[in-house]
Structure 1
Amino acid sequence: MQRALSLDQSPSLSLTLPLFANVPFFGLLAAILALYSGPELFNSRWHPATLALTHAWTLGIVGSAMFASLAHILAVACNVRIQIPRSRALTFWGLFSVGTLLLITGFISWQSWAYQLAALCLGLALGAYIITMAFALWRSRRDVFRGAKEIVAPIRLALLGLLLTVSTGLIMLIALASEQNLPNLVSLHIMMGLAAWAGLLLMAMSFQLVPIFQVTELYPAPLVRWLPWGVTALLIAQWALAFLPGPWLPVRDLVSYLIFLAYGLWAIVSWVRIWKRKRPTAATSTLFWYSSLSSLLACIVLNFWANSPSAPNADLAIGVLLIMGALGSVVCGMMYTIVPFLLWREAQEHVSMDADNTEHTRALLRLIPKTAHYMPTFIARAHWALHSLSILVWTAASLGIAFFAWIAAPVLLLSFATLAWNLWTAWQRYRQSLHAMRVYQAEHHIDAKQHCPES
């Protein structure tokens, strides 16, 4: 396993920061939508507002963060460079963001024009993303770090899962836009999106990032090598069984349970690794990992109860635990690890190492906050507490407890408002450090062009 990261290869701030900014934006949008819809949001997973809220999470929040994070993990951990111009990156962000907003509009209004435009924007954006990533992996196939080859394989499988997720989603969108009967692809779309794309990508990133950032032992080599392939084999079997007649339903359910158990094995191993970490104090990202793994394990237990007559809304609760809990928690944890590093690194890019005057160089570097100082720890932990409370409240509301259905939206709104404030605080500290460097350069008559390379 690759223990060290080539941080100098990290993509530019301007390429991925807009995607990370989508996380609080779509989070606040989801909370406002939940406030507008009220408790009826929890009546059925097929409610228009529920469908809109689900895609605000899966595309706007989880998708945005994972698209950006994948570019970073491939560059710094695998030596796979994603070389695209800034204009193309901003075009992708614009098409993807507008397409997600149009899809949410379509589910709320059931207007065919919204579905048509959403299919066009999302098809172009996600198609271009998949092609770009696949080409980068192919071009760098001989340059991948020796210790990172184990995580490149599940990343390739995750991209295949993304392709299948996008394909089934576009087919259903086209059917909705043309007011035709929907093809029976909903279960496959959900399975590919959660278990193949997001699940395999999360697993692959954990193999690399948990040992480094949580200071844990490496994952067992057999688990790293074979578990992603085992999950993939089960997903292929589930795909094939979906097209078989009713008598195969018990086999299909068995394969579904095995997929949950496979991810449960990964969650237990990850939990033990993080619990036995070498760093005594739990960082904010550590707490979010605990929330993620706990949600996944609770989801596995709930899945075995889902077919019981006493669990009419278990599917909705499972969705909350998977999307908001298992995936959303990791996404929020990423914000406290990746964004401060990006801001710190970008600020350092404005300081050239002047061998003739090291005193000025050291003075400029001292004006840059350390990564831990961009977001105050106590407010970051407050966000973790609110996010964890949101998971509990939304799960309880999904299971039919009326009181929690009334407070679910305000808690979620407060959670994402806290995240937005933390990110805004980090951005302001970054801007203040740049201003302080410009003031220092002016006072000491230093040529700013020498120290501030073009972005």
Structure 2
Amino acid sequence: MQRALSLDQSPSLSLTLPLFANVPFFGLLAALLALYSGPELFNSRWHPATLALTHAWTLGIVGSAMFASLTHILAVACNVRIQVSSGRALVFWSLLSVGTLLLMTGFLSWQSWTYTLAGIFLALALGGYLLTVMLALWHSRHDVFRGAKEIVAPIRLALLGLLLTVLTGLAMLVALASEQAVANLLNLHMMMGLAAWAGLLLLAMSFQLLPIFQITELYPAPLVRWLPWVVSVLLIAQWALASLPGSWLPVRDLVTYLIFLSYGLWAVITWARLWQRKRPTAGASTLFWYSSLSSLLIAVLLNFWTHNPAASNTELAIGVLLIMGALGSVVCGMLYTIVPFLLWREAQKHVSMDTDNTEHTRTLLRFIPKTANYIPASTARTHWALHSLSLALWTGASLGIESFTWIAAPALLLSFAILSWNLWTAWQRYRNSLHAIRAYQAEHHIAAKPHCPES
């Protein structure tokens, strides 16, 4: 396993920051929609606002962050650089964002033209992304770091899961645009999106990032080597069983249980690794990982209760725990790790290291905040507390606790408001450091370092 990262190969700020900015934008939009929809949002997972909110999370929040994070992981951990210009990155971000907004509009209005447009925008965005990443993996197949080959396999499997998610999603959009039934594809679409694409990518990132950033022990080698393949085989079996008659339903349920248990095993081992980490204090990213693992384990337990006659809207609660909890928590934690580093790295590019007077260089570097100072630890922990409260309220509301249905949306709005403030604070500190650098360079007649955007 690769213990070190080649951070100098991290993609340029302009390539991924717009995608990270989607997280608070779509989070606030989702919270406002939930606030407008009211308690009836929790009556059924088929409610129009529920469907719109689900895709605000899966595409706008989790999807945007994972698309951006994957480019970083491939570059710094695997030596796979995705050569994309800033212009093409902006086109992808625009297509993805507009397509997600159109899809949400379609669920709220049930207008066929919105589904058609959403399908076109999302097909172009996600198809282009998949093609670009797959070509990068192919061209770099001989250059992958020796210690990173074990995580490239689950990344490839995750990309296959994304392809199947996109294909089933587009097929359902075509059906919706022509007012046909979509129920036969729905479970496959959800399973591929959550367990194949997002789940396998989460495994790959954890195998690489937790030992480095959380100072944990390495994962057991058999788990790293075989768990992604076990999950993939189970998903293939689930896909094959989907077309069989109802008499195969017990077998399909058994495969579903095994998929949940596989991820539950990973969650237990990851929790143990985090608990025994060598870093003494639990930062915001560590706390978000705990929230993610807890949500996944509760979802595993709830899955065994779904067929109980006493179960009320359990599937909706499992969706909340998986999307908002297991995936959304990791996304928030990643933002507090990746965004400060990107801003710090970008600010350093404006400092020339070959000036005649090294004292000037040292002074200029002092204008750049350390990565830990871009977002105060106290406000990051405040966001974690609000996020965890929001997650508990949404889960409880989904399970039928009526009092929670009235305060779940305001809690979510407050959670994303503090996230937006934290990221805005980091951006302002980055801008202030650039102003200070330029002012010092002008005062001492130092030539600014040429800043060439990366491709």
Per the shorter chain, which TM-score range?
over 0.9
> Identity, % of aligned pairs?
79
Tell me by how many angstroms 1:356 deviates: 2.8
C-alpha displacement at 1:452, in angstroms?
4.0
1:453 is aligned to 2:445: no
CA contact (8 A) 1:351 1:452 kept: no
Q: Which residue of 2 aligns with 1:22?
A: 22
Q: 2:341 aligns to what?
A: 341
Deviation at 1:20, TM superposition (A): 0.1
1:386 lines up with 2:386 in the alignment: yes
Matched with 2:252 is: 252
Matching residue of 1:99: 99
Match in the other structure for 1:169: 169
Cα distance in 1 for partners of 2:35, 2:105 equals 16
Matches within 5 A, 1:379-418: 379-418=379-418
Q: CA deviation at 1:358?
A: 1.2
Q: Per-residue deviation at 1:181?
A: 2.9
Structure 2 residue 313 is the aligned partner of structure 1 residue 305: no
TM-score w.r.t. structure 2 length?
0.99
Q: Deviations over 1:301-354 (max 9, x none)?
A: 111111101112000000000000000000000110000000000000111211
Tell me the equivalent position of 1:324.
Answer: 324
Q: How does 1:282-297 map to 2 (within 5 A)?
A: 282-297=282-297
Question: How far off its partner does 1:362 sit?
Answer: 0.9
> Do residues 54 (structure 1) and 54 (structure 2) align?
yes
Deviation at 1:182, TM superposition (A): 2.5
Quote the Cα distance in structure 1 between the aligned partners of 2:206 and 2:66: 13
Measured in 1, the distance between the counterparts of 2:312 and 2:249 equals 19
Higher mean displacement: 235-244 or 351-360? 351-360
Which 10-residue stretch deviates more, 358-367 or 426-435?
Answer: 358-367
Q: Which residue of 2 aligns with 1:37?
A: 37
CA distance in 2, matches of 1:341, 1:171: 39
**Residue type of the alignment partner of 2:253:** D
C-alpha distance in 1, partners of 2:37/2:311?
23
Distance in 1 separating the partners of 2:206 and 2:356: 43
Aligned to 1:126: 126
Q: Aligned equivalents of 1:175 and 1:204: distance in 2?
A: 34
Measure the CA separation in 2 of the matches of 1:111 and 1:221.
Answer: 50
- The 5 Å alignment of 1:109-258 reads 109-182=109-182, 184-258=184-258
Cα RMSD, aligned residues only: 0.7
Q: Tell me the matched-pair count.
A: 453
Q: Which runs of 5+ in 1 are unaligned?
A: none
Q: State the distance in 1 between where 2:53 and 2:88 align.
A: 28
Structure 1 segments, 4+ long, off by >3 Å, are none
Q: Secondary structure at the match of 1:337?
A: helix
Aligned-pair CA distance for 1:359: 1.0
Structure 2 residue aligned with 1:376: 376
State the Cα deviation string for residues 132-191 of structure 1 (Å, max 9, x = none).
Answer: 000000000000000000000000000000000000000000111122233610000000
Deviation at 1:357, TM superposition (A): 1.9
Cα distance in 2 for partners of 1:226, 1:357 equals: 55
Deviates more, 1:356-365 or 1:189-198: 356-365
| SS of corresponding position for 2:184 | coil
Distance 2:452 2:186 in 1: 47
Supply the AA of the counterpart residue of 1:427.
W
* Other-structure match for 1:437: 437
Give the deviation of 1:447 after TM superposition.
Answer: 1.6
Deviations 1:98-117 (A, max 9, x none): 00000000000001111010
Alpha-carbon separation, structure 1, partners of 2:99 and 2:252: 33
Matched residue type, 1:300: V
| Distance across 2 between alignment mates of 1:183 and 1:41 | 20
Q: 1:23, 1:61 within 8 Å by CA — same for their partners in 2?
A: yes
- SS across alignment from 1:237: helix
Measured in 2, the distance between the counterparts of 1:314 and 1:162 equals 26
Q: Contact 1:100 / 1:122 at 8 angstroms: preserved in 2? A: yes
